[in-house]
Amino acid sequence: MSTMTDPPKESFKLGMLIYDTRYRSITIQIVALIGFLILAGWLINNTVHNLAVLGKPIDFGFLNDPAGYDINQRLIDYNSQNSHWRAAFVGLLNTLLVALLGCITATIVGVVVGVLRLSNNWLIARLMTIYVEIFRNVPVLLWIVFTMAILIETLPAPRDFRGENPEASMMLFDSVALTNRGVYIPEPLFSRGLGDLPILPDRASDACAVPEDGGPVSDACGVFQVSLDMLLILAVLGAGLYVSGLIRKRADRIQNETGDRPTTWHYRLGVVAIPLLIVLVLLGFHVGLPALKGFNFQGGIHLRNSLIALWLALSLYTAAFIAEIVRAGILAISKGQTEAAAALGLRPNRIMSMVILPQALRVIIPPLISQYLNLTKNSSLAIAVGYMDLTGTLMGITLNQTGRELETVLMGMLVYLSISLSISAAMNLYNQRVKLVER
């Protein structure tokens, strides 16, 4: 007699979805998902329905109307007759500008402070600790407002530069003016410039019609214009750096083969600098100095106080966090690495730059991404100092003048989300490159 029997063929019963542990967790998750979707749908449906009842259905048509207001800092051509779309775009570029400047400065300051905090010099290490603690523990909004107040109250007004014995004078051979309306610095000018390249021009429009004398088309042509001079210079610079890289690789190869490293710095400097100088001379490069005319300085590049205050405050604040991340990254590397490198005869600076930091980067980069995102999002505090970023234009003045709260705020959220995800994606790619290759 065989005791072996086939296990009874279980027929699936509905109750098993709850009582059978194999299915229960899936059941719960599906029910929760359906519930969540119903709730979300319900909220959206009600919002749309009730807005329609209020006579304010969601409608993005207002974006094509003339904005009607002026923006002081604009990286592309803009006037008050342009659409709200363009005003929002001007704001977006301002957001990106301060985010980019801020991330670069914060990284440099943060790495330097983080390394110096571990210095053996008691005074330097303590000073850096004080810096980190002060900036980290005060809200960034206060830093922004404080920086702005200092700039406004301590620097002279442009009218102080006027007269026989002015109270204030320009610096660096009359090329830089520090005023309480911003800093004016010399601007690069090209007497034989190549003009601008319109991006996405609308050939049919009046703005893009070529003038009869064959001159350049008007500034209003295209969505925005890119300076051909700048493109040429960047191209020459890029090519120079590439050739310089090839020379370095060749030197590496020779060093690996023979043990002697050929002197290459003058070649490398030459291939970068000489073509660049030739291009600059051909384009007729000269600098335009700011000069006091009328109420304000004219000419030169005007870095407005709002930009400087926001940039400085965001950079210094975020740098305090980055410094801690860098310090943590360095401390995560075993002391044996330092001692081994020292035993090979490397000097302390080289130990840091060639042995410790490359390894520490693996620990540093993931939290660094969050700091970049924080800085970018904190830049939306710009309105506190009147910096016209995306929050100031689209979600500020446009919202106020059109009364379209939902539409503008939704668009703003979407844009910030896209910026943040782009930064994350770029930094994750970089992280892939430097992270430890695991076998």
Partner 1 sequence: MKKTVLVGALALAGLSAGVASAGTLDDVKARGTLNCGVNTGLTGFANPSASGEWEGFDVAICRAVAAAVLSDATAIEFIPTTGKTRFTALASGEIDMLARNTTWTFTRDVDLKFEFVGVNYYDGQGFMVPKELGVSSAKELDGATVCIQTGTTTELNLADFFRANNISYEPVPVETDNEAQQQYLAGACDTYTTDASGLAAVRATFESPGDHILLPEIISKEPLGPLVRHGDNEWGDVVRWTLNALISAEELGVTSANIEELSGGTNNPEINRLLGTEGSLGEMLGLDGEWAKRAIMAGGNYGELFEKNIGEATPIGLARGLNAQWTNGGLLYSPPFR
Residues that bind partner 1 (CB under 8 A): 42-44, 46-47, 50-51, 53-56, 68-72, 79-81, 149, 152-153, 157-160, 180-181, 293-296, 298, 305-306, 383-384, 386, 388, 392, 396-397, 399-403, 405-406, 409-410
Smallest distance, partner 1 to C-beta of residue 204, A:
26
Which of 150/328 has CB closer to partner 1? 150
Q: How far is C-alpha 60 from the geometric centre of its chain's CA atoms?
A: 28
CB atoms within 10 A of CB 134: 12
Residue 273 contacts residue 266 (beta carbons within 8 Å): no
Which of 78/321 has CB closer to partner 1? 78
Smallest distance, partner 1 to C-beta of residue 26, A:
29
Which of 57/358 has CB closer to partner 1? 57
Calculate the alpha carbon distances from 211 to 148, 217, 220, 322 in Å.
45, 7, 13, 53
Smallest distance, partner 1 to C-beta of residue 304, A:
8
- Strand, helix or coil for residue 400: helix
Which of 106/395 has CB closer to partner 1? 395
Calculate the alpha carbon distances from 146 to 104, 139, 142, 436 in Å.
22, 11, 6, 42
Look at residues 364, 276, 316 and name the one whose alpha carbon lies nearest to residue 109: 316
Which of 230/415 has CB closer to partner 1? 415
SS3 of 287-298: the string is: EECCEEECCEEE
Torsion angle, alpha carbons of 336, 339, 344, 345, to 10: 160
Residue 179 contacts residue 156 (beta carbons within 8 Å): yes
Which of 71/233 has CB closer to partner 1? 71
Smallest distance, partner 1 to C-beta of residue 370, A:
24
Smallest distance, partner 1 to C-beta of residue 72, A:
5
φ, ψ for residue 421, nearest 5 deg: -65, -35
Look at residues 437, 401, 358, 433 and name the one whose alpha carbon lies nearest to residue 84: 401
Which of 136/159 has CB closer to partner 1? 159
Between CA 139 and CA 117 the distance in angstroms is: 22
Smallest distance, partner 1 to C-beta of residue 61, A:
12
Name the strand (E) or helix (H) holding 133: helix 122-136
Size of the chain in residues: 439
Smallest distance, partner 1 to C-beta of residue 160, A:
8
DSSP structure class, residue 86: H
Which of 50/255 has CB closer to partner 1? 50
Between CA 130 and CA 138 the distance in angstroms is: 13
Look at residues 354, 306, 317 and name the one whose alpha carbon lies nearest to residue 109: 317
Smallest distance, partner 1 to C-beta of residue 64, A:
15
Smallest distance, partner 1 to C-beta of residue 132, A:
30
CB atoms within 10 A of CB 103: 21
The encoded tokens of residue 271 equal 């291939």
Which of 360/384 has CB closer to partner 1? 384
Smallest distance, partner 1 to C-beta of residue 141, A:
12
Which of 222/396 has CB closer to partner 1? 396
Residue 261 contacts residue 168 (beta carbons within 8 Å): no
- Strand, helix or coil for residue 357: helix
